[in-house]
Structure formats: structure tokens, C-alpha cells
Amino acid sequence: MRFAKFALAGEARWGIVDGPELLVLRGHPLFASAEATGERVALKDVLLLPPTLPTTKIVCIGKNYADHAAEMGGELPPEPLIFLKPSTSLIGDGESIVFPEISERVDFEGELAIVIGEIAKNVSASDALSVVWGYTIANDVTARDIQEKDGQWTRAKGYDTFCPLGPWVETEFEIDGQILETRVDGDTKQHASIDLLIHKVPRIIEHVTQSMTLLPGDVILTGTPAGIGQMVSGDVVEITIEGIGTLTNTVA
């Protein structure tokens, strides 16, 4: 099932994606048993918002595809490499990525994102999938020159609009070799199976929950494959994962 967050009459609402329409829910599906109001709205008539909560943490895993680690240089991390993006970096499907004036190179990084469904602390890999609510798509936008200058990643990946997320949460998705593809103005830049993740989803959740408690609605970005590249003003960036959908953002 696909759950989307959207703006309706100036209010953030949740709904179930039903073809070209949204079945409007009374509250968040994790907390209100997905009770429907009976109202339907057309997807084309609403602004999709990042499918998150005000409390959402954005936990990211770096260098988690061997080919991307190679293109970035350095050795493969022996365990999942964790960093964070602030919630103020979030934007939804259809919104614009805005470059900071200080940067001369801003890159796209298409990623599978995990959405957590319950409080999770010290979860074993064998139990990890039980705390997953669903999956969505993310763009780990990065000011590459700032990253190189700082020698660490927080500022380079934390600017406002640097975490496009969406278009919705797919709760019936199971990882089985689906292709992640990133296109810029229609040209394919990234094309890889998500089976190529070095550290798989259960190991990622185990590792993250050893150091921090995850809450319902928290998001984990799982890493990007090779093919990252620069964006310029006017670009349209589309990230597609089979079985989930397509996240589309323009570059301002």
C-alpha cells in the first residue's frame, strides 16, 4: 500500500494512493489505523510533501555501493558509515532544489530510503525487517566542493532542500533486485540493482539502533550507486525505483 503526505487546503494530510486519486485519512496511518474520511482528491491537484513527521530523523549511510566507493576514492567502510541530515533539508516530490551561493558544484545521489514503523533500539539483524514500515526514494544532494573543503559531510549535505524525499511510502515493497535509476533531463546517470548494497537493510538497522533509538517515521538513506554527477540550474532530476515510483525535482 502506498501512503502519501500532501497539502490540502493549507493543511498537511495523509492519504492512500489509489490510482490517480488519494483516499484521505483522518490522521497519520501509523497512529490512526489508516481510518479514511471518505473524501477523495486527485493526485494532480495536491502538493506532495515529504512523507515524514515533525520528529523525523534522517540517518544516512555512506559509501554503501562498491562502485560508488571506488569513484569517490578510499577504502570500503568495514561497517555502515553513519551521518545525519537535518529535517530542514527535506523537500517533497515536485519541489525545487536550491543551490547555496557558496557552492560551485552540487551533485545528485539517488537512494533507497527505509521508513521505520516502531520504536527500535538494539534490534538484531534477524528482527530488523519487523520494525520497517515501508520504503521511499531519496536524493542525498551534496555540495561536493564543500564536502572536500570541510573534510566531513554535515554542512555539504545539510543545506535547505538537500533531501528530496518521496513521492510516498510503499509498505509492500520487498528488496529483490529492483533497479534504481537516476535521470537528469532524461539522460540516465545511475542504473544499478539495490541488491548491490554492501551492507544490507537488516545489517544497517542493526548497526544504527546500536547507537541511537529510532522512532516511528524516522528515515534511513541506504547509500547511492556509481554515476553521481553535477546538477545545474534548470535540470529536472528523476529517481526511479521499481516497485516504489519516481521522485522528481527541479533545480533552481
- Tell me the residue ranges of DSSP E strands in 20-162: 21-25, 36-42, 47-49, 58-62, 81-85, 90-91, 96-97, 106-108, 110-116, 132-139, 142-143
> What's the grid cell of residue 139?
536524493
Question: Contact 82/38 with Cβ under 8 angstroms?
Answer: no
pTM of the model: 0.97
- The predicted pLDDT at position 44 comes to 94
Helix (H) or strand (E) holding 86: none
> What's the grid cell of residue 132?
520497517
Question: At 96, is the pLDDT very low, low, confident or very high (cuts 50, 70, 90)?
Answer: very high
> What's the grid cell of residue 169?
511510502
pLDDT in tens, 190-225: 999 999 999 999 999 999 999 999 999 999 999 999
Q: Can you list the domains of the chain with their CATH numbers?
A: 1-48 (2.30.30.370), 50-251 (3.90.850.10)
